[in-house]
Structure 1
């Protein structure tokens, strides 16, 4: 494809749309791959895929392969789902929750998310879904953004406690956060400090991208 080849020289935008939630959604060929961006940040593939791949590698691909059910809060273009299915060869159930139906249309059209048979996509608010779900999960990936903003509820103790109750023994939470200033650093440290250290083991991974910090929480056996 000619656009893919030229994208190694210069990014080639192939889709752009105004979005109520993300201001602008763009699909671009960049360095030979399709990426999904909002107005100010990468939403799927590109740097975001590298970040979440790094988190999954830290948990351990062998452990991921043994999991029965993975929950992804914040699907966007579905890059972490593609990493699970195409790269790690994960064969079991994935539930993806995305509030923006326009985003799912783009994910299906450009990134063929609807061809992944083990994926159940739910159009819902992450907070509402977490309150309603009766399932238990081996891994919960939290990747919820509106452009560069992260909703406050993600860091509230009520939400983190609820997320933790949805984990099976030895299950993991992989939480992608954005750090733009010292207030965000303080927010992340507070979040970690409120996790019950008797029941859970938590850590922040060294950053591989300037503004993203991954938090990993493991439910002890």
Structure 2
């Protein structure tokens, strides 16, 4: 494909649409790969896939491959789902939750998410979904952004407690955050300090791809 070859020289944008939540969504060929971007940041594939792949690798691909079910809060183009399926060979059930049906349509059109047999996409607000679900999960990935902004509810104690409640024994949360200011750094520090429970192990991987920090919560029993 000509666009793919040209993308090794300079990025080639092939699709753009307006988004109520993220201003714009773009699909671009970059160095021979399709990526999804919002107006100011990468949404799927590209640097975002590298960030979440690093977190999953930290947990251990072999360990993850043996898990039975995963919850992905914030699907966008589905790069973390592709990592689970294509690289980790995850065979369990994957539930992907995204509030924006348009972004899922774009992901299906350009990244073929609808061809993944063990994936169930739910169009819902993440906060509402975690309140309603009766399932328990071995892996929960939180990757919710509105361009470069993260909704405040993600850092509320009630939400994090509910997320931890949804974990199976030995389950893990992988929370991707963006730190653009000292205020963001303090926000993350406060979140980590709030999870003061011997039932969980919490750690962080700071400055992944410059502006991201991964927070990992492991349920010990």
**What is the TM-score with the length of structure 2 in the denominator?**
0.99
Aligned counterparts of 1:115 and 1:73: Cα–Cα separation in 2: 19
**1:128 counterpart residue number:** 128
1:77-96 deviation line (CA, Å, top 9, x unaligned)? 00000000011111110000
**1:117 counterpart residue number:** 117
Confirm or deny that 1:56 pairs with 2:41: no
Query: Matches of residues 1-221 of structure 1 in structure 2 within 5 Å?
Result: 1-221=1-221
Q: How many residues align?
A: 221
Aligned counterparts of 1:211 and 1:73: Cα–Cα separation in 2: 20
Aligned counterparts of 1:82 and 1:141: Cα–Cα separation in 2: 13
- How many Å apart are 1:189 and its aligned residue? 0.4
Instruction: Determine helix, strand or coil for the equivalent of 2:207.
Output: coil
Runs of 4+ in structure 1 off by over 6 angstroms are none
Q: Higher mean Cα deviation, 201-210 or 123-132?
A: 201-210
**What is the TM-score with the length of structure 1 in the denominator?**
0.99
1:27-67 deviation line (CA, Å, top 9, x unaligned)? 00001000000000000000000000000000000110110
Aligned counterparts of 1:9 and 1:111: Cα–Cα separation in 2: 22
- How many Å apart are 1:139 and its aligned residue? 0.5
- How many Å apart are 1:2 and its aligned residue? 1.1
Aligned counterparts of 1:91 and 1:205: Cα–Cα separation in 2: 27
Q: Higher mean Cα deviation, 129-138 or 200-209?
A: 200-209
Q: Unpaired segments of 5 or more residues in structure 1? A: none
Aligned counterparts of 1:197 and 1:92: Cα–Cα separation in 2: 29
Instruction: Determine helix, strand or coil for the equivalent of 1:205.
Output: strand
Q: Unpaired segments of 5 or more residues in structure 2? A: none
Instruction: Kindly report the root-mean-square deviation, in angstroms, between the aligned alpha carbons of the 2 structures.
Output: 0.6
